Structure 1
């Protein structure tokens, strides 16, 4: 999963032509500066957390690059944009899991997935929908929820 996820992140960075900077003095996990096409990641965090944060910030650029001025306009807009970025991150992590040659669909547990990556359980429906979309069509007798 790690190799595929690394390659996926590199591909997204290349497509979006974003600059990613790692800094060990950040007060947050990450910052996104859409007007500069720049993402800054806290390099003090574990690698898996840096990847998760980077995917989240890439989600902002992929989905909201031209709407960044709306982010602070209203709480509802900010909340919606954060949710979209989080869903982007989750979907890319699941995509990496599905492309892992060692992945066994019958052993997948969405709660374990959420907990292992410290993702809020309110995203359970996102994980279920994504996995159903990609696995049920492949093997209809392999429904795990």
Structure 2
């Protein structure tokens, strides 16, 4: 999580915790992540990572966010950004190499939707996985 906080700081993005109906959202004009104060620790972490994905990957694309197809694509990219960072955290936490990761245990541990199973398997089988995780 430290890595994400450093990325947000470098991008000039702050986090505000408040009572909101959504888990969170990113305002690219204000450069603020708004996070629901009522989330569990795990949901807070996942929401911050997802919304940070928007801030890091999509900051300049916010006019496209109101269009259905770009919006859907950006949501998927933010989810993958979250998964990549959770995977890095998980591997560091348990001192695992990509070959040692049981992707189903990982998904259950972080309560990741199984629709991302294929993405995760592909990511873990990539021979350049170690290099990729060092640069995300």
Query: Which TM-score band applies after superposition, normalised by the shorter structure?
Result: 0.7 to 0.9
Separation in structure 1 between the aligned mates of residue 80 and residue 3 of structure 2, nearest angstrom: 16
> Are 1:103 and 2:95 counterparts?
yes
> Are 1:64 and 2:58 counterparts?
yes
Q: Indicate the structure whose relative CO is greater, using CA pairs within 8 Å and at least 6 residues apart.
A: 1
Separation in structure 2 between the aligned mates of residue 134 and residue 22 of structure 1, nearest angstrom: 39
Instruction: Give the one of 37, 44, 54 matched to 1:50.
Output: 44
1:127: which partner in 2?
Answer: 120
Instruction: Give the one of 12, 21, 24 matched to 1:17.
Output: 12
With normalisation by structure 1, the TM-score equals 0.79
1:72-114 Cα distance to aligned partner (Å, 9 max, x none) = 12x11111010000000000111111222x3345663212222
* C-alpha displacement of 1:59: 0.3
* C-alpha displacement of 1:10: 1.6
Highest Rg: 1 or 2?
A: 1
Q: Is the 8 A contact 2:90 2:106 kept in 1?
A: no
With normalisation by structure 2, the TM-score equals 0.84
Give aligned pairs, total. 130
Partner SS for 2:22: coil
Separation in structure 2 between the aligned mates of residue 84 and residue 99 of structure 1, nearest angstrom: 23
> Are 1:81 and 2:46 counterparts?
no
1:41-94 Cα distance to aligned partner (Å, 9 max, x none) = 012111111010000000011111000110112x11111010000000000111
* C-alpha displacement of 1:135: 8.3
1:140: which partner in 2?
Answer: none
Partner SS for 2:66: coil
Separation in structure 2 between the aligned mates of residue 19 and residue 30 of structure 1, nearest angstrom: 13
Separation in structure 2 between the aligned mates of residue 136 and residue 30 of structure 1, nearest angstrom: 29
Q: Is the 8 A contact 2:91 2:101 kept in 1?
A: no
